[in-house]
């Protein structure tokens, strides 16, 4: 059975800094760790930046970046700049 990859999107500033402006990717993954590892494989060093500098929206739900977040087939994984409050 074909696996529908997740659609991974980076913010434009982040992509300019680390992926030469490429923003959208297709990644097969079951949990967020798989996404991070695959992105790091394609752009060595990117994994650490994703872990340290971003918050993630999985199908719009905002989460801290954590390995165990489940990734459904075909879902949208958006890495946005890390948010802080007061």
Q: Write out the residues near another protein by the rule CB under 8 A.
A: 9, 11-13, 16, 52-53, 57, 59-64, 66, 69, 76, 78, 80-86
- Beta carbon of residue 1, minimum distance to another protein (angstroms, whole number): 26
Q: Return the biggest CA–CA distance within the chain.
A: 47
- Beta carbon of residue 11, minimum distance to another protein (angstroms, whole number): 6
Q: Measuring CA to CA, how many Å separate 21 from each of 24, 29, 56?
A: 9, 23, 19
Tokens read off for 75: 């879902």
- Beta carbon of residue 42, minimum distance to another protein (angstroms, whole number): 20
Q: 1 or 61: whose CB is closer to another protein?
A: 61
What residues have CB less than 8 Å from 42, skipping those under 6 apart? 25
Contact by Cβ (8 Å): 9, 24: yes
Q: 41 or 70: whose CB is closer to another protein?
A: 70
């Amino acid at each position: 059975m074909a696996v529908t990859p997740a659609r991974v999107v980076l913010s434009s500033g982040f992509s300019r800094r680390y992926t030469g402006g490429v923003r959208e990717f297709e990644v097969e993954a079951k949990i967020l760790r798989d996404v991070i590892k695959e992105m790091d494989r394609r752009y060595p060093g990117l994994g650490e930046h994703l872990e340290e500098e971003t918050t993630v929206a999985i199908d719009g739900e905002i989460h801290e970046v954590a390995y165990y977040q489940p990734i459904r087939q075909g879902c949208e994984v958006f890495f946005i700049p890390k948010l802080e409050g007061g």
